[in-house]
Structure formats: C-alpha cells, structure tokens
Structure 1
Amino acid sequence: MRKGEICVKKIKLNHRLIQVYFLAVIMPFLVFFGMLGIFSQSAMGQLEKEVSQFYKSAETMRQSFQELIILDLDGLIAGETDTFMEQSKELVNLRLNDMMLKVGDVQYFYQFSKVPLRVHSMGLTGSFALTDGTPVQYSINFASVVQRDMIDKARSVSLRTGMTALLAYFALNLFFFYKIAKMIRGSFNEMKGAAHKIQTGNLDFDFPESNVDEIDEMYQSFDEMRLQLKESQEVQMQYEQNRKELIANISHDLKTPLTSINGYVQGILDGVADTEEKQERYLHVIAGNAKEMEHLIEDLFLISKLDIDQLPMRTDPIDMVPYLQDCVLDWQFILQREKMSISLETELSHAHIIGDREQLKRVINNIVNNSVKHLQASGSIKIELKKEDGGFVVGIRDTGVGIAQDKLGHIFDKFYRTDAERNRKIAGSGLGLAISKEIIQRMGGIIWADSQLGKGTTISFYLPEQGEKQ
C-alpha cells in the first residue's frame, strides 16, 4: 500500500508539472497566435481604412473621364473617335481592376487584374461627348493593387517576425521549465533520501542550502523535524540508560541490606547471637538496613508521583529561621556520632515564605544527606540563610571532596550519581537531588550548585518571600 501511495503522489506531481508547462508555454503560444490574428485583422482594417480614405478623396475626380485621362496619362487628350480609341489603350498603365467603355454603339470591356474581395475598390461612372459628337459612357473600377501588395508584404513580415519571436519564446520557456523541473525533482530526491536515512535510523546528516526561499524553508522545516527526532531519540536512549542504571543500582542497593539482614537473622536463628547484648546489636543492624530499604523505595515512589504530577503540595506559612534551626538540631544529634558538625549562619530574625513544610524538610534532608556521604571524619556542613531579590536563599555548604565541573551540570538529573565508577561504598539511588529540584520548582523557586574538587560543594536554593510568589 505504501508503494502504491508513493506512486500516486509521483503521478500527481507529474500532472502538476505538465499543468505548469501548459500554463508557461502552450498557453502563451496560443495567446500569441490569437494576438497575431488580432494584429493581422487590425492591420488589415487599418489598411482598408486607408484605401477607403484614398478612394473617398478620389471622389473629386468624378468631374469627367476626360479630365481623369488627362490627369493620369500625361497629356492624353480626347478628340476624334479613332484618336480616342488609340489613346485609350494607354489606360492599361492605370491602376485599374476593370473598365467598360461604350463609344457610340460599340461597347468595350477591359479586365486588368484580379483583386481580393477584402480589398476595397471604387467605381466611377459617367459620360461625355467627343469633339466629333460621338457619345462616350464609361464605368471604371479602381482597385487597391498597391495597397494589396502592402498588405501581403506586411502579413509576410509579421508572420516571419512572429514565428521567430515565438520560437525564441518557446525555447526560453522550455529551458526555464527544464531548470525548474530539475530543481523541484532534485529537491524531492533530496527529501526522499533524507526520509530514507531517517527511516533507517540515521539522524546525523545536514540538509543543503537552497537559493529558492520556499525550498530552503522546506529544508529547514524538515531539518527541524530531524533535530527533534534526534533529540527525542537521545532522550529516549538516555532514559533507557538511566533505567538500566536504576535497575542495577536498586538491585545492588537492595541486595546489600537484604544480604545483611539475612545474615544477621540467620545468626540469631543459629544461636550465634548467644547473648542479649549481641541479639540487640543484631536487631539494630537489621532495623538500619530495613530503614535504608524503606528510604530507597520511598524515593522511587516519590519520583514516580512527581513525574506524573500527582504529588500534592501544601501552602503552609513558614518562618525559615526557626524552621532551619530545628533541622540543624535534628542533624546535630545524628552527626555527633560520626564526629561531624552542622551549623546555621544567618543575620535574619525572620524569613517568611509559603510552602510545603514536609516536602521542604525532604529537600534539606536530601541535600544534607548527600553532603554527609562525601564528608570525611571531622568534616562540617554549614547552612546559610540570607535575603536576596524579594526572597530568601538557603545555601548548604560542605567540606567534602567536591564535584568535577564537567559533572556538576548533571547532579540534578534523575538517577545520576557523581561517582562515575559507581563506588559501591556510597549508597543511594541518585534520586535525592532530582526530587529536591522538582519540589523547589513546584514551590516557585530555583536550585543550583557550586563546587571545587578538594574544597567541597555548595547547593543553594531560592524561594520567594511570602506575598511575592507569583
């Protein structure tokens, strides 16, 4: 079916080219001959008009045949009958079509030439008497022989000139039609080749530029489509890669605590934990691993809800100063056991915003937890709060190992982990910062990161002040 459809489109294109050819060449050809006919008719009418005007002026010659003869024959004078008959033979030199003379009782008829009916002629009739008293009657038909020659010559010249111009016009149109057809077919062949490349999955090519605006616009539109397809393909490939990495990470991150839980449970069952103190220690390890698995599953569930925009966001009034103080107190208790420190620095007494308290707490915990993973013993985390541009900026700075600049732009991507070698000592799914970015954006803010290798990382986010959020 697809081949048939392509064939139909090709035939339609040929039909259109034939139509263009007819309009560009044949139609002007017909119009030219029509105009040539009109020109011929006009020229004929003009010449006939001139002939009529000529013979109309000849009406003044109607005085007498004798005067006409004297006028045209340079001194031929009518006298005696015999003399007149001899002299009348000179009339053949006149531009006459035919002539009838009746001299006395004898009638004479002369026919000199045949003139087309379309050429005007004029008849003169009259009578007079010779000097010997013989009556003469005449009837003369003046024909435009000279004018007819002019018409024939004009027709011949017009026809030759017209045919020459027509052939030149035809050749010129044929040349331009060939160039246009070649250009159009070349453009479609280019498009066909591009479509075939896309069909085979090849999106790494460029379209040529065209000097014709319409074709260049078509190329640009097709190239934009190619780039969009390429971008979609790259995104799809990236998602597929992320999915595979996610499965691998989840498998590892779930396998590690599960293996640990299974080992400690088996130890309890086998009686390895033969004292109450050992059993309590085993149970604490099992609980910690179970908590880690719970966090991982919770992150997966949360990112799924964010992807489909089904995570409700509350609009609670929050004073960021006491709110951050509470967060610092919670983390101080946890970090003391790791010999790490966390503190809050701010010159503000109040910082009112509107947001979801629970989700904002998740953002701060994700960032701090991410910093803790990269801190060495005795490392520190500092939270700074300051007012800026109609809102508040929270910066969480650590003294960890830092992040390379070429990786810094990806840390908010889903499933991304800064350790390209996937250091298995650092747990996590790579979803924490991606979740934080989504939450901050839904609260009307922005989030960014600054880092230097060996000097630590600062992750900051901006939230509008209460009443400033749009």
Structure 2
Amino acid sequence: MKWNSIVFKLGGTIFIILMCVILPLTYTIDQLFARFYFSEARHQIDQLAYQYSRTLTDLKDMDSLKTVARLTKTEICIIDREGKVLYTSNDQHLPQETKVSGNLLSSVYSGKAVKQDYFNPYNQKNYLASGKPLQIDDKVNGAILVFSKAEQIKQTIHHIELLLLASLLGALCMALGFTYIASKKLASPLLQMEKVTRDVAKGKFYRKVAITSNDEVGSLAAAINDLGHELEGYRNRQTEFLANISHDLRTPISYIKGYTQVIHDKLYKNEKEKDLYLSIILDEVNQLNVLVADLFELSKIDGGQLDLHFNWVNLHDLIENCLTKVGLKAKKKKLRLLKEIDDRIPFIYTDAVRLEQILMNLLENAIRYNRSNGDVKIAGYADKKKVNLVIEDTGIGISEHDLPYIFERFYKADKSRSDRQGSTGLGLSIVKQLVILLEGDIKVKSTLNKGTSFSITLPFRVRENS
C-alpha cells in the first residue's frame, strides 16, 4: 500500500481519532481506579480505627487486636498523649515504648482524627495511617492508630495497570484491524471512481461506476456515470460535426474548383452558360462564408472576445427590419410573414446587432424548414419584468428525440432538416449563447410535421426620461 494512497490517509485519520479517544480514556480509567482504590483503603482503615475507638473499653481486650490486624492485613497500635506506644500488634512495625513522631504525632496531640500518609522510620516503609482519639477507664488518654502498607496497595494498582495496558494493546490491535477494514471499505468506491474516470478519459465510455449507496458517495458515482454518458454523446456529436464540416467544405470547394476550371479552359458554350457557372461559384462562396462566419462566431464566444454594445433599442423597428430582410426568401417559398407585436412594448436595453442576429437566424430557419403556402409568425409582448418574443412556423417540426439536443453546437438534427443552403448545425448553438450573453433565456416547443415555436425572454428595464 502506497504511503500517499487514500487508503493509508483515511486509515491513518481513523486510527488517530480512535487513539485520541482510547488513550485519554485509558489514562482516565487508571487514575480514577487508583484514586478509588486508595480512597477505599483509607476508608477501611478509618472505619476500623473508628470501630475500635468506640468498642475498646478494657486493656485486656487489646490482645484481640493482633488477630484483627492479621485478618485485615493492617498494623494497630495505641499511643498515649506523649506519643509513646503503649501497645502494638507488631513489634517490628512500631516497637512498644517507642514514640511516634512527625505530623502523625502532631495530629494525635491535637485530639483530632488522624488520616494521612506515614513513613515509618523503624522499617523504612510507607503506610496509610488513620487514627481516632481513645479513652479507656481514665487510664489511657491517647489514640488508636491503624496502619496499612502502601506498598501492597501500589502492587494491587500495578497489577490493575498491567491489565489495563494489556487491554489497551488489545484495543490498539482491534483499532488497527477496524481501521484497515473501514478505510478499505470507504476508499473502495473512490478507487473505483478513479479507475473508471481514467478509463473514460481514455475514451472507454462504456465503463461505469457501481452505485452501492444512496449517500453522497453514491451521488458522486452517479455523477461520474452521467459525465461519461455526456462525454460519449459529446464525442459522437463532435465526430459527426467534423464529418459534416468536412462534407460542407468539400462540396462547395469541389463546385468552385470544377466550374472555375471550366471557365478557365473556356469550355462553356456561350456567355449565358458562363454567367450560370459564375452564379454557381458565387453561391458556393456564400455557403463557405456562412460556414466560416459561424465557426468564427463560436470561437469568439468561447474565448470571451465577443463585444456587446448595449443601448436603448426600438423593438418594433428592429423586428420590422428583420422581416424586410427575409421577405424575399419567404416570397419565393410562398410563405406568409405574420407579426403580432404589442404596441405597449417599450424601448428595451440590449445589443441591437446581436438581437437582430438571433431573430434573423430563427426566422431563416423557420423559412428554410417550412412548407410552401405556410406561415411564419413573430409575436411580442411584455410584462413587469420580462420582454417575450415568440417565432412560430408551420414547418416540418423537430422530432422528440432531437429536441433536447438542438442547441448543442456539435449536434445536427435529422438529415431531412438539412440542406446545403447554410445549414451547418451551428446556428442554434450560436443563438443560445447570444441569448445568454443578453441575460435572457430561450425555449423551444415542436411537433413533428406541424411546426416549431421558439420563445425568447429578455430582461425588461424602465427607460428613464432624459
């Protein structure tokens, strides 16, 4: 496994988080147990000292303290007011007739209960000590002291700490195993996505990511699959586009070359035939000009180099100008040009050249793909926030399959909609981009063999009186 892999990074993160929880928890448990055990030990010897201070009433009963000390693993002694040991359960601990010194003696002299750590100078050992004032038949006026070896308590705590350490090591091993399994489980979809994405980048669009969950990872997998599908469609349309462009370039060039050669070699019969050939050459040059202009327009849009010049535009005059320009083409196909523009439409703030380019493209398409004796209609109306323009025709329509893709630049609709008169498959893509640049929106509705309707929405601004 690579050190910089997602599995290692994810596993390391999970392991560190687990350690940040386990280590402080283990330390806290150890400290709590140590304090609890010491507290319990102090409480036990304190209770023992308290009980004997209440029940010990005769010096004859002192012999029983040896038995109690042996059973409770403690040391018991009785001292007088001067700190002299009157009785002890273990002469090696505090021999009889010796004196207790230090803080323990000070506490005893004060007559208060004694409960503290004590270092025994006679055997050089540490004890937990507890004491209570003691009064026996007015003969003994001192205290009873109970000692418990601190070393025994520490050994018990040490054993517990060893058990905690063993548990910690076991928890670390379990954490490592859990981290490895969890990181592999979590990273597996990401690694699969990486592999599929690289395959898609190489053109293997058929590769798909398995969607195993409904969370964000599953959503990402679905997005990658959708991206692959879109890229596949994009590549197919680009291939078709290049094929169409090659054909659209080759055909007029072939015509131009052929008829130019005929004129150059003077193979025409008369001047009328020569003029016909020149007319064909001119038409093909115009076709090439349309194609090159469309490609140049798209190039400027993609490069952000398309200059816009916004100004107040009289929409009525602009539409009338467009209808005048396409009037001759409509007349040749015996089409009726209809106009329904709301007189209340005000001046709009837009780029007149680009808006005219949009309308001309849509009107020419409506004429090109319409039937003889059909209608082409342009309508316009305004509301409080938008200006709406609609271009309708009664032409051949667009199939339901092609409709979602007609604004894509590398998409060319059904070949029955295409002829050699300016159809490059780029016009509607340019229209879409221009509408967006004018801060508007465009939608299309179409029924095959009945007609098509394009709706353009542009922002409405109130013109201030100068």
Identical-pair percentage? 21
Query: Distance in 2 between the 1:434 and 1:249 partners?
Result: 16
What is residue 187 of structure 1 aligned with on the other side?
A: 186
Q: CA deviation at 1:432?
A: 0.8
Q: CA deviation at 1:306?
A: 0.9
Query: Distance in 1 between the 2:211 and 2:235 partners?
Result: 26
What is residue 360 of structure 2 aligned with on the other side?
A: 365
Check 1:48–1:387 CA distance in 2 against 1; reply closer, same or farther (3 A cut): closer
What is residue 348 of structure 2 aligned with on the other side?
A: 353
What is residue 457 of structure 2 aligned with on the other side?
A: 462
Contact 1:96 1:141 in 2 (8 A): no
Query: Distance in 2 between the 1:11 and 1:442 partners?
Result: 45
Query: Comparing 11-20 with 418-427, which one deviates more in the overlay?
Result: 11-20
Q: Deviations over 1:51-71 (max 9, x none)?
A: 44456558864xxxxxx56xx
Aligned length: 396
SS in 2 for 1:462: strand
Query: Distance in 1 between the 2:299 and 2:274 partners?
Result: 38
Q: Deviations over 1:147-184 (max 9, x none)?
A: 99999xx98xx99xx89x97998899689858854445
Q: Deviations over 1:160-212 (max 9, x none)?
A: xx89x979988996898588544455334554455445455544311336xxx
The answer to whether structure 1 residue 403 and structure 2 residue 349 are counterparts is no
Contact 1:303 1:435 in 2 (8 A): yes
What is residue 115 of structure 2 aligned with on the other side?
A: none
What is residue 435 of structure 2 aligned with on the other side?
A: 440
Contact 2:315 2:346 in 1 (8 A): yes
Once the two structures are superposed, the pairs formed by residues 20-419 of structure 1 within 5 Å of their partners are 20=18, 24=22, 32=29, 35-53=32-50, 56=53, 61=58, 94-95=63-64, 119-122=75-78, 141=87, 143=89, 177=175, 180-181=178-179, 182-189=181-188, 191-201=190-200, 202-208=207-213, 220=216, 222-348=217-343, 351-419=346-414
Check 1:59–1:260 CA distance in 2 against 1; reply closer, same or farther (3 A cut): closer
Query: Distance in 1 between the 2:354 and 2:6 partners?
Result: 60
Query: Distance in 2 between the 1:335 and 1:350 partners?
Result: 26
Which amino acid in 2 is paired with 1:119?
Answer: E
Contact 1:383 1:396 in 2 (8 A): yes
Q: Deviations over 1:215-266 (max 9, x none)?
A: x6xxx2x445444544444444343333322221111112222222223223
Query: Distance in 2 between the 1:458 and 1:173 partners?
Result: 70
SS in 2 for 1:354: strand
SS in 1 for 2:454: strand
Contact 2:259 2:277 in 1 (8 A): yes
Q: CA deviation at 1:321?
A: 1.2
Query: Distance in 1 between the 2:452 and 2:20 partners?
Result: 74
Q: CA deviation at 1:424?
A: 5.4
Check 1:429–1:167 CA distance in 2 against 1; reply closer, same or farther (3 A cut): same
Query: Comparing 415-424 with 428-437, which one deviates more in the overlay?
Result: 415-424
Q: CA deviation at 1:314?
A: 1.1
Query: Distance in 1 between the 2:10 and 2:458 partners?
Result: 60
Query: Distance in 2 between the 1:15 and 1:380 partners?
Result: 69
Query: Distance in 2 between the 1:468 and 1:277 partners?
Result: 56
Check 1:167–1:238 CA distance in 2 against 1; reply closer, same or farther (3 A cut): same
Query: Distance in 1 between the 2:316 and 2:168 partners?
Result: 88
Check 1:465–1:31 CA distance in 2 against 1; reply closer, same or farther (3 A cut): closer
SS in 2 for 1:406: coil
Query: Distance in 2 between the 1:54 and 1:229 partners?
Result: 79
Q: CA deviation at 1:387?
A: 2.7
Q: Deviations over 1:45-93 (max 9, x none)?
A: 33433444456558864xxxxxx56xx6xxxxxxxxxxxxxxxxxxxx9
Q: CA deviation at 1:401?
A: 0.8
Q: Deviations over 1:261-298 (max 9, x none)?
A: 22322332343433222222221221111111101100
Q: Which stretches in structure 1 are left out of the alignment for 5+ residues?
A: 62-67, 73-92, 99-111, 125-138, 210-215
Which amino acid in 1 is paired with 2:211?
Answer: D
Task: Decide which structure has the larger Cα Rg and report it.
Answer: 1
Query: Distance in 1 between the 2:410 and 2:449 partners?
Result: 24
Check 1:419–1:174 CA distance in 2 against 1; reply closer, same or farther (3 A cut): same
What is residue 5 of structure 1 aligned with on the other side?
A: 3
Contact 1:95 1:142 in 2 (8 A): no
Query: Distance in 1 between the 2:402 and 2:234 partners?
Result: 18
Which amino acid in 2 is paired with 1:378?
Answer: N
Contact 2:396 2:449 in 1 (8 A): yes
Q: CA deviation at 1:313?
A: 0.9
Q: CA deviation at 1:413?
A: 1.6
Query: Distance in 2 between the 1:362 and 1:7 partners?
Result: 53
Which amino acid in 1 is paired with 2:450?
Answer: K
Query: Distance in 1 between the 2:9 and 2:190 partners?
Result: 17
Which amino acid in 2 is paired with 1:205?
Answer: A
Check 1:16–1:284 CA distance in 2 against 1; reply closer, same or farther (3 A cut): closer
Query: Distance in 1 between the 2:231 and 2:173 partners?
Result: 49
Q: CA RMSD in A?
A: 4.6
Query: Comparing 402-411 with 233-242, which one deviates more in the overlay?
Result: 233-242
Query: Distance in 1 between the 2:322 and 2:20 partners?
Result: 83
Check 1:143–1:12 CA distance in 2 against 1; reply closer, same or farther (3 A cut): farther
Query: Distance in 2 between the 1:354 and 1:184 partners?
Result: 58
Q: Which stretches in structure 2 are left out of the alignment for 5+ residues?
A: 91-144, 201-206
Check 1:422–1:43 CA distance in 2 against 1; reply closer, same or farther (3 A cut): same
Query: Comparing 304-313 with 261-270, which one deviates more in the overlay?
Result: 261-270
Query: Distance in 2 between the 1:19 and 1:318 partners?
Result: 65
Contact 2:396 2:448 in 1 (8 A): yes
Query: Distance in 1 between the 2:385 and 2:25 partners?
Result: 72
Contact 1:253 1:427 in 2 (8 A): no
SS in 2 for 1:5: coil
Contact 1:332 1:341 in 2 (8 A): no
